[in-house]
A and B are shown apart, each in its own frame.
Chain A
Amino acid sequence: MLTKLIFEFKRLSFRSVLYLCGATLVVFCGIPLIWMLFTSLKPLEVLFSYPPAIFSHYTLSNFKRLFTDTYFLVYLKNSIVVAGTTVILDIVIATFGAYSLTRFRFVGKELLASLTLFTYMFAPIMIIIPVYVLLNDLGLTDSHLGIILAYTSISLPFTLWLLRAFFQSFPIDLEEAAFIDGANRFQSLVWVVIPQALPGIIATSVFAFVVVWNDFLFARVLLTSTHLKTMPIGLQDIYESTIVDWGLLMSAAVIVSIPALIFFLTIQKFLIKGWGMGAVKG
């Protein structure tokens, strides 16, 4: 009886500690976000009042000003176009690349696979100048095409590596069954391999999306025209052009967070499945 009680006590205390840690983590990460939301909904005058007016003075004026007085919508659209195109391009290339790295026999295959990851080890700041020079020679600086190509090249090594792990864990029998059933290699890839690798592909696309969506450095160096700028540098411009208009800035930050939030919530199911798969078998 006593041992049972002790066991139960230990179990409960372990759980309590676990939940406490979890809760601390949530609060720690959540407070800045909640504060961001609060700030975005308050007029400038009450932002710094003490004690803070938590339950009153709510307004959407910051958002209204954001849409009417700044280029925010342009930045948002640019970010979506650039991130979306990069993810699509990245995933298409990485899917075919990873497939060929796992399914075809050719000389130097392993070396090639290792080298792709090796390129990922250079910090972005190290490659930004060469990338700039290269794009400048091609006449692609200050263009969406240029920055999309730059983003694709920096995220591709890692996405290729991730997808390679997924394809390696994929049973080859299924593809062979498809060949026997009358599919050619491309058909077996489209009808059998990709649907199976979807969790992996989605997890990888999230990675690529996050890298691109948040990037500041490449956008700052490669984009100069206002109508081409993406959100991270656009936000900085808002910051610079106002006398630290926190309300405006925070409302922009809220909107920046929304696409990422929606993206993560929708693909969460696949993401966990994909990560699990990679962890066990990759």
Chain B
Amino acid sequence: MKKLVLKNISKRFGKVVAVNNAELEIEDQEFIVLVGPSGCGKTTTLRMVAGLETVDEGEIYINDRLVNHLPPKNRDIAMVFQNYALYPHMNVYQNLAFGLRMRKIPKAEREPKVIEAARILGIEELLERKPRQLSGGQRQRVALGRAIVRNPEVFLFDEPLSNLDAKLRVQMRTELKKLHKRLEATSVYVTHDQVEAMTMGDRIIVMKDGTIQQIGSPSDLYYKPQNRFVAGFIGSPTMNFLPCRILEADSQLYIETGDFRLPLLDHFADKVRERGDSKFILGIRPEDIREKKSVQPSSFGGSIKAQINVTEILGKEVFLDLTTGENTLSALISAEPEENLGQEIELEVNLARIHLFSADNGNAII
């Protein structure tokens, strides 16, 4: 069953188009993440679903019911805000119970629901406290509790973890995911953090300038980005982009960047030939580059000679910032290279994982 459907919705603020013709179908119990840079329209989309913004064009359905003109209270949704938005003058119990009280649920029924929500989130001993007496993580739990206590049709999360410190954020990420499994609730989660998106979403929607760029599973977005923006936005460190041309020699196609040349695998070659263009943008993820001296047989090939600018040891991997002629390149390799800073290193590329984008519109070709 489709739980939440957005049909060609648009939103303008004056002349600025915040959301442009967004189309989306969310299944029951799905965890959807809306991700994109600031100002991409993700929060506006969420707020339109919540009923906090009006929809200029298009339709929103929750459980097959058109909700465009319903106030937030009649949409049966719950929302967790970035800054928690706990009522400062109420204690935790009153904060949790407020939604039930507004919905005229009798006091006797309210109490077990509040206690249950508090139990799930481990905040039973905080019920008497005021929000200002809680830590960031505890406030976050109360905000979550306020959402789950009503058992709504759809949960909306507006960057709920961005105010927490890095460690707590990772912990809460896992907890949120567990909570989602447990409650089997349909969730729409907004974040600008691609790591959060990749780790939490069943499906991810990448937005830019009000337009949906791609909808897909985390691995779809990572391995098959539909355009240069998605390729650059998903993945850390960011994908390397190099302008390139396609050359043919001895019926073999090559990608020529000016600094190095990579052979194009046969199954990619057909797609490139179909295009007929010769100018492209080459995309290589840093983790698809390794030192030439690695001997395991694989789809790695080609040869890039690059100068090492910076070496960062990340633990299991080593990050290299490199220069190849006119371009800079980043690589994640498995061990610290023997070469020193400023020296030249020879690298190869996983040819099965390279990406080519149209130089005109940035759309993916392979």
Chain A contacts to B: CB under 8 angstroms? 171, 173-174, 176-184, 187, 191-192, 195-196
CB neighbours of A179 from chain B (8 A)? 51-52, 71-73
For the complex, is B243 an interface residue (Cβ under 8 Å from A)?
no
The 0/1 profile, CB within 8 Å of A marked 1, for residues 281-307 of chain B is 000000000000000000000000000
CB neighbours of B77 from chain A (8 A)? 180
For the complex, is B268 an interface residue (Cβ under 8 Å from A)?
no
Whether A187 contacts B85 by the Cβ 8 Å rule is no
14 contacts between A and B (CB under 8 A): A171-B85, A174-B85, A176-B79, A177-B81, A177-B146, A179-B73, A180-B52, A181-B98, A181-B99, A182-B73, A182-B103, A184-B71, A184-B73, A191-B102
Which B residue's beta carbon lies closest to that of A176? B52
Give 17 A-B pairs besides A177-B81, A182-B73, A191-B102 with Cβ atoms closer than 8 angstroms.
Answer: A171-B83, A173-B83, A174-B88, A176-B52, A177-B86, A177-B146, A179-B51, A180-B99, A181-B73, A181-B146, A181-B150, A182-B99, A182-B150, A183-B73, A184-B73, A192-B87, A196-B88
Whether A191 contacts B73 by the Cβ 8 Å rule is no
Whether A178 contacts B83 by the Cβ 8 Å rule is no
Which B residue's beta carbon lies closest to that of A175? B85
Chain B contacts to A: CB under 8 angstroms? 50-52, 71-73, 77-79, 81, 83, 85-89, 98-99, 102-103, 146, 150
CB neighbours of B98 from chain A (8 A)? 178, 181, 191
Q: How far is it, in angstroms, between the C-alpha of A178 and the C-alpha of B98 when the chains are bound? A: 8
Given contacts A184-B73, A195-B89, A196-B88, contact A177 B79 (CB under 8 A): yes
Q: How far is it, in angstroms, between the C-alpha of A195 and the C-alpha of B89 when the chains are bound? A: 7
Q: How far is it, in angstroms, between the C-alpha of A182 and the C-alpha of B101 when the chains are bound? A: 9
Give the shortest distance, in Å, between A105 (CB) and chain B (any CB). Answer: 11
Q: How far is it, in angstroms, between the C-alpha of A176 and the C-alpha of B158 when the chains are bound? A: 12
Q: How far is it, in angstroms, between the C-alpha of A174 and the C-alpha of B84 when the chains are bound? A: 9
Q: How far is it, in angstroms, between the C-alpha of A218 and the C-alpha of B73 when the chains are bound? A: 48
Give the shortest distance, in Å, between A181 (CB) and chain B (any CB). Answer: 4
Whether A177 contacts B102 by the Cβ 8 Å rule is no
Given contacts A187-B102, A191-B98, contact A180 B87 (CB under 8 A): no
Whether B85 contacts A173 by the Cβ 8 Å rule is yes
Give the shortest distance, in Å, between B105 (CB) and chain A (any CB). Answer: 10
CB neighbours of A192 from chain B (8 A)? 87
Give the shortest distance, in Å, between A157 (CB) and chain B (any CB). Answer: 29
Which A residue's beta carbon lies closest to that of B105? A182
Which A residue's beta carbon lies closest to that of B99? A181
Give the shortest distance, in Å, between B118 (CB) and chain A (any CB). Answer: 16
Q: In the A-B complex, list the 8 residue pairs whose CB atoms are closest, starting with the nearest.
A: A182-B102, A181-B99, A177-B85, A173-B85, A182-B73, A179-B72, A195-B89, A182-B103
